[in-house]
Amino acid sequence: MRGIDCPEMNTVAGWLARLFLVETLSPVARFVVTTPDVDLYDRYLADVFVLDRETDPRVTAMDGVFVNREMIGEGVARVWTDEKPEF
């Protein structure tokens, strides 16, 4: 996901990040993923948005909850930097 760094999945912190995503995305019928960039390895960098009960993806992307930012706010991810994380 663009702009964030999450712990590795083989750690407790990684499983907590995964659990946050599952709990955030499972209740909504639809979510929007935009891919404005690719990284140095040509992997898509995604922005994820959710807006409960919204069916128009444009509205969800404009007015929805920015999941990348929510992960930082909940402490399950950090802002991406080139520094080594202390997860």
Q: What torsion do the CA atoms of 2, 46, 20, 30 make, to the nearest 10 degrees?
A: 150
- For residue range 45-79, what is the model confidence (pLDDT) as tens digits? 999 999 999 999 999 999 999 999 999 999 999 99
Residue with token string 């930097």: 81
pLDDT, residue 87, reads 56
Alpha helices in the chain (DSSP H): 12-25, 57-63, 67-73
Q: What are the residue boundaries of the structural domains of the chain, listed by start?
A: 4-78
CB 10 within 8 A of CB 25: no
Confidence tier at 83 by pLDDT (50, 70, 90): low
Q: Is the pTM of this model over 0.75?
A: yes
